[in-house]
């Protein structure tokens, strides 16, 4: 072997270790997703994965440290460890499915509830990832030993480079896995990529080990370069390794919870935070690599760094307080577009670095220095594994203690201050161990005082913390509310805010999840003024009433998520339900929900009600009970962990928990999604349940209702509205009737089946489309406008396609705001009255009045318009109101008036064709609609002058579909599609495309 071969080999090994670090964090990132599917809530899964991952690495490092001196060829052993880890990674997906499937089917249902189930679940989770974690834990000691034997002259420099490259790879791996690989390849693809990286590293390391065999056989471990350390000094250094790791992971847990309030608690936010944390460690190791070997007294050097780290960690509290207005400013300046999201993510990453980098930079120096100090004082290569093992053990204890004990006990600011004081205390202990460090102890004492002072004087305004600034909320508005309740719980920061008018909002990590007006918490009297139902109360009430209507005689119900507690309260209004279990993971939610009493009183007081503090997935996985009703009211899908409640796999598990004829209902918010993401959820529902329906329960809210077996029955609204307890609950509101509740139905399986068939990949645990894209859609302020437009589409395509007529309904009052079909029926009633609305009526009622008066004036004057286009637009506004909320019905008097006026004044033929087309489409005269459409499309004309392109395309294609002639459907689609202006991603476009494709299928002459 040539003399310069080690010089060439060492940089290659650094490069391999960077790739190995990227693979390791790819594993950790994807394991948190896998284990979240099994043990439940993502926050617990992250703690569990961190604990097991670090525990395995600690064990692996400890095992190697005991054999360090006996391993003749550490690089070859390193290659073997990487290869085995890669082979296990390739089989992990199948192993996970097999093991968890057996646990769900056999083990967990056989265990008693409580600690035994939890212990079994966590033990299985540990066994799944522990082997690879142990293997990965051996890699650092082995690679360090290999490189030190090749370059023994500067162990501090070598260790700094190794920590730097491995940590840098880890920081990059988190981002690549979360932002690129999961979206493109799914979770199995990330595992395959990480495993491939392991195998590539193993192959190259094996080749290098074979080439370096002569050098390795002749090399020795680095010789001590200082006097041997005393036993007490060795113990102190190892204690410092463990305690500084404990403090660092307290910081990490604290920062993650803190920054969740600024950045939002989406999965991508967590990935940015983790990457920033590790990058700080990498940069610290890089900086110290040239400075550790020249240190005459490592105790002074380490002690100073520890004290500085504690001070810097607490000193960032003012920067954290300033991050809220910074985020508000960012959201007012950045473009809400795809390019803007990239910039937004970059700035978020910078914000994470501003908060984390000062302390993590110091933390990154500690392990190279501690390891180098022990090596230099006679510990040899065994010190590498020993320090690494103790450090990771401290990390485990820090993760668990901070998450489950210290954060709920001390709060966000308190945890940062206590961890900072611990780092300073470790630093002072190190200084005391050196004669040269005694003079610096006074500085350590001053540092302790400084962190306490900073902690006390730095204001963290709780109203600002929970303001939801990441959604563009106004900080000025946030400061105008009071906080009757605030708590940093184990899984989230829970708060309840109250505005001056008594309106209360329950939020988790700054994201509002429930709200209630002041009047709804008051007792009803004879003088109580009845009001429209609006806001979250629409969802909270109907999410309980709708499933009851589909299964009014059900005896057992489970509710996923407590929220305000109103939904469970509504379910308990049904005396047939003898057992209602509400499953909630965060104990602080129970305390916050108390502020909604008495509107949720039965949830807490009824003997039939039970609240279980457990993750819903874990609860159902280990329960053998069957339920007549399961109601899921999750938070928004962009929140980390929530999207897992909208997957094929979750729905399969839920269907298995339903009793015969059981019903599942779930709340889905569409106002921060888009039509494609809603379709991915509907595709998951469609794949699992034999029948389902979609109800609109607010301006941007849906309730999905699905059956365990067979078709869903017609909802029995009458029996639900007749419940005495429910009647008392609704005493504040305008009375509901079956017609109003019928109007909430938006779509069903038969209508949606063709559109769902176009979805390539339903939302899945392993291909989490919803989790990956929901946060981006929230940032872009997208909404599923096409899906929600089905509720007030004048053509009423949904009912035309399914041939379900809706007769006119007189709606004297508007009972709920945001309900599009009921609102259309109410507007129709108001315009038909032809009476002036009250002075305090909404502005659109006055507009309806003006439209009606304007049309009457046109007929009264009996003069042809100078331009027929505005005349058509004016008439269409009147028609849309008069026929609103109906299907297959035409106001024949109004239609005859318009046609008579147009004919009498010799309107252009195109005007007559438009009138005929619209009347035929709305009245389901399909032959007449196609005849009129043909008159509107002139040969070789590519623009429409008299009618909208989408209206012509939709109306003509729907008429052809209803006639059942496949050739006509295709022909009319081709003739009218060039005029369509609506985006192809719009739900209505997807729906029609699905029906067109289904019409060409072999099954039948009409789509399913």
DSSP 836: P
- Cα of first residue to Cα of last residue in the chain, in angstroms, is 74
Q: What is the average pLDDT across 125-138? A: 89
Burial grade of 101 (CB within 10 A; 0-12, 13-18, 19 or more): exposed
The answer to whether the beta carbons of residues 605 and 568 sit under 8 Å apart is no
- Cα separation, 907 vs 904, in Å, equals 8
**Residue 916 clears pLDDT 90, i.e. is over it:** yes
Question: Which of 521, 555, 590 corresponds to the end of one domain?
Answer: 521
Task: Give the CATH number for residue 142.
Answer: 1.20.1250.20
Q: Are residues 78 and 25 in the same domain?
A: yes
Whether 194 and 206 share a structural domain: yes
- Give the mean pLDDT of 345-362: 95
Over residues 267-291, the mean pLDDT reads 90
816 band by pLDDT with thresholds 50, 70 and 90:
confident
Token pair belonging to 407? 């954060």
**The predicted structure's pLDDT at residue 106:** 80
Q: What pLDDT score was predicted for residue 959?
A: 95
Q: Is 60 exceeded by the pLDDT of residue 1005? A: no
- Alpha carbon distance 325, 793 (integer Å): 41
Q: What contacts 24+ positions apart, CB below 8 Å, involve 925-934?
A: 926/959, 926/960, 926/962, 926/963, 927/959, 927/963, 929/955, 929/956, 929/959, 930/956, 930/959, 930/960, 930/963, 930/968, 930/972, 933/959, 933/972, 933/976
Residue 530 CB-density burial (10 A; 0-12 exposed, 13-18 middle, 19+ buried)? middle
**Which residues, 6+ apart, have CB-to-CB distance to 378 below 8 Å?**
224, 228, 229
- Whether 723 and 781 map to the same domain: the answer is yes
Task: Provide the CA 596 distance to its chain's centre, in angstroms.
Answer: 26
140 inside domain: yes
Other C-beta atoms lying within 10 Å of the C-beta of residue 925: 18
As a whole number of angstroms, the distance between CA 874 and CA 866 comes to: 14
Question: Do residue 764 and residue 723 come from a single domain?
Answer: yes
**157 and 84 fall within a common domain:** yes
**What pLDDT score does 352 carry?**
95
Q: What are phi and psi of 367, to 5 degrees?
A: -65, -45
What whole-number percentage of the chain has pLDDT above 70?
93
Tens-place pLDDT, residues 432-449:
988 887 777 888 899 999
How far are the Cα atoms of 179, 631, 634, 781, 993 from residue 643, in angstroms, in the given order?
Answer: 16, 16, 9, 18, 27
Max avg pLDDT among 106-110, 165-169, 291-295, 435-439 = 165-169
The set of long-range contacts for 176-182, using a CB threshold of 8 Å and a minimum separation of 24, is 176/22, 176/26, 177/25, 177/26, 177/29, 177/30, 177/271, 178/29, 178/267, 178/268, 178/271, 179/268, 179/271, 179/345, 181/26, 182/30, 182/33, 182/768, 182/772
**Of 223-237, 473-487, 529-543, minimum mean pLDDT range:** 223-237
Position 1008 scores a pLDDT of 40
The arithmetic mean of pLDDT across residues 647-655, rounded, is: 94
Structure tokens at 443: 């500085």
Look at residue 531 and tell me if it is in a domain.
no
In this structure, is residue 526 part of a structural domain?
no
Q: In this predicted model, which residue has the larger pLDDT, 822 or 780?
A: 780
Strands 627-632 and 556-560: what pairing?
Answer: parallel
What distance in Å separates the CA atoms of residue 851 and residue 877, rounded to the nearest whole number?
7
CATH assignment at residue 727:
3.40.50.150
CATH, residue 303: 1.20.1250
Same domain, residue pair 478 and 456: no
Please state the rounded mean pLDDT for residues 94-116: 82
Question: How far is it, in rounded angstroms, from Cα 276 to Cα 280?
Answer: 6
Q: Do residues 455 and 318 lie in contact, with contact meaning Cβ atoms separated by under 8 Å?
A: no
**pLDDT at residue 149 greater than cutoff 90:** no
pLDDT, position 84 = 96
Mean pLDDT of the region 714-743: 92
Contact assessment for residue 686 and residue 753, using Cβ atoms and an 8 Å cutoff: yes
Q: How confident is the model at residue 118 (pLDDT cuts 50, 70, 90)?
A: confident
Residue the block writes with tokens 């103790």:
390
Token pair of 805 as six digits = 């007529």
Supply the DSSP symbol for 106.
I
Give the torsion sign (CA, 583, 584, 590, 595): negative
Task: Give the 3-state secondary structure of 142-190.
Answer: HHHHHHHHHCCCCHHHHHHHHHHHHHHHHHHHHHHHHHHHHHHHHHHHH
Q: How far apart are the C-alpha atoms of 265 and 968, rounded to whole Å?
A: 50
Q: Is the pLDDT of residue 215 over 60?
A: no
**Domain end among 171, 194, 222:** 222
CA-to-CA distance for 515 and 518, rounded, in angstroms? Answer: 10
Query: Peptide bond before 138: cis, by omega within 30 degrees of 0?
Result: no
Q: Note whether 605 and 739 are same-domain residues.
A: yes
Q: Name the phi and psi angles at 339, rounded to 5.
A: -65, -40
Statement: residue 66 has pLDDT above 50: yes
Which of 166, 187, 222 lies at the terminal end of a domain, its last residue?
222
Which value, in Å, is the radius of gyration of the alpha carbons in the chain?
A: 33
* Helices 155-176, 267-288: crossing angle, 10 deg rounding: 160
* CB of 77 closer than 8 Å to CB of 142: yes
Whether residues 678 and 767 share a domain: the answer is yes
pLDDT tens digits, 883-896 = 888 888 999 999 99
Average pLDDT in the chain? 88
Two tokens, residue 880: 């849309």
Query: 277 pLDDT band (50/70/90 cuts)?
Result: very high
Question: What pLDDT score does 892 carry?
Answer: 92
What integer is the mean pLDDT of 597-604?
94
The confidence score (pLDDT) of residue 905 equals 93
488 and 622 inside one domain: no
d(CA 448, CA 428): 10
pLDDT band at 104, cuts 50/70/90? confident
Q: How many residues comprise the chain? A: 1008
Q: Which pLDDT does position 41 carry in this prediction?
A: 63
Cβ atoms within 10 Å, residue 1001: 12
pLDDT of residue 216: 45
Q: Is residue 745 part of a domain?
A: yes
* Predicted confidence (pLDDT) at residue 908 exceeds the cutoff of 70: yes
pLDDT at 1004 (0 to 100): 40
Domain count, the chain: 5
3-state DSSP percent of the chain in helix, strand and coil, to 5: 65, 10, 25
Return the minimum-mean-pLDDT range out of 127-136, 215-224, 645-654: 215-224
Cα angle at 1002 between 998 and 1004, to 5 degrees?
75
Give me the pLDDT at residue 839, please: 67
Q: How far is CA 498 from CA 277, 473, 502, in A?
A: 35, 15, 6
Q: Report phi then psi at 594, rounded to 5.
A: -60, -25
- pLDDT, position 105: 80
Distance (Å, rounded) from C-alpha 306 to C-alpha 427? 5
User: Per residue in 765-796, pLDDT tens?
Assistant: 999 999 999 999 999 999 999 998 887 777 78
Q: Are 773 and 646 in contact (CB under 8 A)?
A: no
Encode 317-369 in three state secondary structure.
Answer: HHHHHHHHHHHHHHHHHCCCCHHHHHHHHHHHHHHHHHHHHHHHHHHHHHHHH
- What is the β-pairing status of strands 579-584 and 556-560? parallel
Burial of 238 (0-12, 13-18, 19+ CB in 10 A): buried
Specify which residues 630 forms β-bridges with.
Answer: 558, 664
DSSP 8-state assignment for residue 681: H
- Phi, psi at 168, each rounded to 5°: -60, -45
pLDDT tens by residue, 546-580: 999 999 999 999 999 999 999 999 999 999 999 99
Same domain? 286 vs 395: yes
Structural domain includes residue 122? yes
Residues 6 or more apart whose CB falls under 8 angstroms from that of 682 comprise: 694, 704, 752, 755, 756, 759
What's the pLDDT score for residue 1007? Answer: 43
Q: What is the pTM of this model?
A: 0.91
Q: Tell me what pLDDT residue 214 has.
A: 45
In a domain, 317, yes or no: yes
**Given pLDDT bands bounded at 50, 70 and 90, which one contains residue 927?**
very high
**Residue 778 in domain:** yes
Question: Residue 652: inside a domain, yes or no?
Answer: yes
Domain that holds residue 880: 797-999
87 in the same domain as 72:
yes
pLDDT reported for residue 443: 87
Q: Is the pLDDT of residue 223 over 60?
A: no
Q: How many angstroms separate the CA atoms of 814 and 946, rounded? A: 34
Do residues 825 and 899 share a domain? yes
Which residues share a beta bridge with 613?
Answer: 584
Burial label, 860 (beta-carbon count in 10 A; 0-12, 13-18, 19+): exposed
- Rounded Cα distance between 571 and 683, Å, is 28
Integer Cα distance of 600 and 727 in angstroms: 14
Q: Work out the burial of residue 817: count CB atoms within 10 Å of its CB; fewer than 13 is exposed, 13-18 middle, 19 or more buried.
A: middle
More confident site: 51 or 690: 690
């Amino acid at each position: 072997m040539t003399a310069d071969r080690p010089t060439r080999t060492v940089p290659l090994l650094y490069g391999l270790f960077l790739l190995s670090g990227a693979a390791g964090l790819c594993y950790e990132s994807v394991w948190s997703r896998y284990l979240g599917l099994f043990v439940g809530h993502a926050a617990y899964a992250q703690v569990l994965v961190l604990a097991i991952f670090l525990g395995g690495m600690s064990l692996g490092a400890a095992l190697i440290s005991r054999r360090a001196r006996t391993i003749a060829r550490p690089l070859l052993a390193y290659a073997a460890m990487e290869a085995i880890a890669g082979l296990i990674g390739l089989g992990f997906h199948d192993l996970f499915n097999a093991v968890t499937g057996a646990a769900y089917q056999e083990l967990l249902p056989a265990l008693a509830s409580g600690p035994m189930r939890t212990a079994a679940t966590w033990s299985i989770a540990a066994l799944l990832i522990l082997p690879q974690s142990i293997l990965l834990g051996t890699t650092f000691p082995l690679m360090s030993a290999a490189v030190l034997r090749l370059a023994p002259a500067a162990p501090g420099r070598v260790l700094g480079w190794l920590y730097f490259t491995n940590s840098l790879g880890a920081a990059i791996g988190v981002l690549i896995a979360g932002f690129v690989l999961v979206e493109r390849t799914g979770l199995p693809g990330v595992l395959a990529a990480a495993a491939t990286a392991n195998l590539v590293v193993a192959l190259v390391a094996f080749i290098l080990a074979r080439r370096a065999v002569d050098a390795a056989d002749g090399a020795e471990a680095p010789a001590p370069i200082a006097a041997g350390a005393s036993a007490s000094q060795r113990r102190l250094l190892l204690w410092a390794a463990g305690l500084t790791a404990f403090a660092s992971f307290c910081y990490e847990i604290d920062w993650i919870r803190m920054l969740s309030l600024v950045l939002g608690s989406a999965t991508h936010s967590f990935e940015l935070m983790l990457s920033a944390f590790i990058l700080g460690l990498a940069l610290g190791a890089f900086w110290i690599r040239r400075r550790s070997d020249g240190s005459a007294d490592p105790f002074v050097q380490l002690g100073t760094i520890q004290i500085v780290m504690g001070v810097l960690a607490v000193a960032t509290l003012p920067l954290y307080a300033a991050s809220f207005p910074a985020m508000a400013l960012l959201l007012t300046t950045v473009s809400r577009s795809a390019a803007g999201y990239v910039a937004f993510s970059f700035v978020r990453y910078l914000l994470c670095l501003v908060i984390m980098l000062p302390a993590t930079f110091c933390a990154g120096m500690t392990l190279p220095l501690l390891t180098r100090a022990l090596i230099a004082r006679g510990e040899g290569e065994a010190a590498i594994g020993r320090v690494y093992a103790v450090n990771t053990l401290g990390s485990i204890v820090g993760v668990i203690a901070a998450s489950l004990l210290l954060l709920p006990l001390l709060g966000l600011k308190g945890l940062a201050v206590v961890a900072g004081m611990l780092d300073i205390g470790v630093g002072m202990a190190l200084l005391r161990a050196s004669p040269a460090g005694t003079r610096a102890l006074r500085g350590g004492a001053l540092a302790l005082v400084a962190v306490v002072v900073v902690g006390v004087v730095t204001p963290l305004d709780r109203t600002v913390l929970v303001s939801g600034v990441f959604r563009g909320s106004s900080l000025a508005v946030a400061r105008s509310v009071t906080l009757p309740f605030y708590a940093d719980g184990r899984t989230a920061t829970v708060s309840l805010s109250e505005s001056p008018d008594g309106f209360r909002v329950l939020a988790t990590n700054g994201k509002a999840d429930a709200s209630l007006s002041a009047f709804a918490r008051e007792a009803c009297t004879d003088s109580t003024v009845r009001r429209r139902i609006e806001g979250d109360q629409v969802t909270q009430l109907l999410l309980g009433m709708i499933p009851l209507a589909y299964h009014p005689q059900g005896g057992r119900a489970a509710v996923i998520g407590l929220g305000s507690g109103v939904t469970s309260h509504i379910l308990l209004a049904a005396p047939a339900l003898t057992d209602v279990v509400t499953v909630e993971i965060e104990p602080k939610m129970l305390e916050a929900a108390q502020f909604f009493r008495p509107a949720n009183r039965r949830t807490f007081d009824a003997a039939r009600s039970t609240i279980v503090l457990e993750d819903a997935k874990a609860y159902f996985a280990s329960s053998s009970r069957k339920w007549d009703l399961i109601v899921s009211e999750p938070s928004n899908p962009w929140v980390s962990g929530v999207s897992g409640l909208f997957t094929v796999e979750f729905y399969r598990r839920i269907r298995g928990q339903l009793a015969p004829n059981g019903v599942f209902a779930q709340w889905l918010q569409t106002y921060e999604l888009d039509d494609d993401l809603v379709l991915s959820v509907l595709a998951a529902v469609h794949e699992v349940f034999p029948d389902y329906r979609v109800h609109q329960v607010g301006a941007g809210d849906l309730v999905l209702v699905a059956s365990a077996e067979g078709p869903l029955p017609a909802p029995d609204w009458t029996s639900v509205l007749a419940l005495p307890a429910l009647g008392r609950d609704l005493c504040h509101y305008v009375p509901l009737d079956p017609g109003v509740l019928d109007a909430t139905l938006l779509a069903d399986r038969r209508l949606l089946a063709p559109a769902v068939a176009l979805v390539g990949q339903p939302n899945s645990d392993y291909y989490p489309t919803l989790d990956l894209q929901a946060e981006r859609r929230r940032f872009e302020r997208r909404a599923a406008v096409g899906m929600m437009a089905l509720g007030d589409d004048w053509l009423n395509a949904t009912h035309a396609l399914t041939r379900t007529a809706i007769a006119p309904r007189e709606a004297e009052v508007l009972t709920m705001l945001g309900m599009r079909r009921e609102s259309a029926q109410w507007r129709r009633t108001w315009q038909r009255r032809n009476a002036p609305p009250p002075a305090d009526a909404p502005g659109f009622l006055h507009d309806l009045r003006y439209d009606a008066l304007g049309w009457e004036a046109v007929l009264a004057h009996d003069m042809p318009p100078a331009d027929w286009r505005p005349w058509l637009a004016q008439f269409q506004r009147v028609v849309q109101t008069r026929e609103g909320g109906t299907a297959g019905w035409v106001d024949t008097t109004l239609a005859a008036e318009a046609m008579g006026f147009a004919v009498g004044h010799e309107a252009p033929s195109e005007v007559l064709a438009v009138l005929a087309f619209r009347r035929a489409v709305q009245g389901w005269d399909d032959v007449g609609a196609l005849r009129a459409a043909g008159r509107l499309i002139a040969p070789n004309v590519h623009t429409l002058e008299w009618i909208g392109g989408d209206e012509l395309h939709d109306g003509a294609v729907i008429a052809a579909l209803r006639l059942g002639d496949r050739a006509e459907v295709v022909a009319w689609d081709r003739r009218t599609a060039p005029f369509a202006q609506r985006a192809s991603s719009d739900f209505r476009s997807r729906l029609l495309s699905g029906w067109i494709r289904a019409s060409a299928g072999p099954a039948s002459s009409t789509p399913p």
